[in-house]
Amino acid sequence: MALNWTRYASPASFHPLAGKLIPWFGWGAAVLAAIGLWLGFAVAPTDFQQGEVYRIIFIHVPSAWMSMFLYVVMAFWGALLLAFNTRLSGMMAQAIAPTGALMTFLALWTGALWGRPTWGTYWAWDARMTSELILLFLYLGIIALRQAIGEARRADRACAVLSLVGVVNIPIIYYSVQWWNTLHQGASVKPTGSSMEATMLWGMLVMSFAFWFYAIAVVLSRVRSIMLERERSAAWVAALPEVGSAR
C-alpha cells in the first residue's frame, strides 16, 4: 500500500489517475446534489419557526463546512510540502485555494440571504459570520501572495507557511459560538426548537457529500492544469495526446 501511494506522488503518474477519477466524482456530485436538493426542498417539512426560508441551510451549512474543511486540507498539503518537499503537495495546495474561497463566499452569501428574513438584517457582526469573513480574507490573501510571488517553488512554500499560520482560525470559527456565549449572551439560530428533524439532517448530510465530491472533482481538474503548466518542459507532458494534437 505504501508503495502504491509514493508512486502516485509524481505528477507524471498522478495526472492520468486524476483524469480517471474526475468523472466519477463529478457525476457522483451531481447525483448526490439531486438527491439532497430533493430531500431538502421537497421532502423535509416546513419549519414551525421559520417557514420555508430555512431551506437555505441545505446550501449554507454544507458550504460553510467545506470552507473550513478545505482550508484544513490545504494547510495539510502545505505541511507535507514543508516536511517532504514533493512537487505534488504544492500543486494540490494551489488547486484547493480558489475552491475554498468560493465555498466561503457561498457560505457568507447564503448566510446573508438567510439572515435577512430571519433576523431582519443581511449582516450581523456575530462570532461565526465574522470568523467566516476572516476565513475568506485568509483565502484571498493566500491567492494574492501566490500571484505576487511569481516563482512556483517560493510561492508554494510561502503559501504553505501562511496557511499554517491561519489554520488557528478554524477552531476559532468552529467554537466561536460557544465562546462568545460566555462573553455576551448571544442567540444562535436553530432550524427547530429541539433537535433537528431526521429528513433535514439527511438532506444536509447528502448535500455535504455532494459539495465534497464537487470540490474533489474541481480540485483534481485544476491540479491537472497546474501540472501541465508547471511541468511543461517535461517529456511526459509532450507525449500527452491533448498536448500533441494542439501543435
Binding site for other proteins (CB under 8 A): 82, 130, 134, 137-138, 140-141, 144-145, 148-154, 157-158, 161-162, 164-166, 168-169, 172, 179, 182-184, 233
Q: Which of 99, 48, 39 is closest to 71 using CA atoms?
A: 99
Q: Which of 22, 11, 64, 17 is closest to 219 using CA atoms?
A: 22
Our CB check for other proteins shows the closer of 12 and 134 to be 134
Angle at 232 between CA 101 and CA 149, to 5 degrees: 45
Q: Which of 220, 214, 223 is closest to 28 using CA atoms?
A: 214
**Minimum distance from residue 192 beta carbon to other proteins (Å):** 30
| Strand, helix or coil for residue 46 | coil
**Minimum distance from residue 39 beta carbon to other proteins (Å):** 35
Our CB check for other proteins shows the closer of 34 and 165 to be 165
**Minimum distance from residue 76 beta carbon to other proteins (Å):** 16
C-alpha cell at position 114: 438567510
**Minimum distance from residue 165 beta carbon to other proteins (Å):** 5
Our CB check for other proteins shows the closer of 30 and 161 to be 161
**Minimum distance from residue 54 beta carbon to other proteins (Å):** 28
Our CB check for other proteins shows the closer of 49 and 178 to be 178
Dist. CA 201–CA 117, nearest whole Å: 22
Our CB check for other proteins shows the closer of 118 and 130 to be 130
Number of continuous H segments (helices) and E segments (strands) in the chain: 10, 0
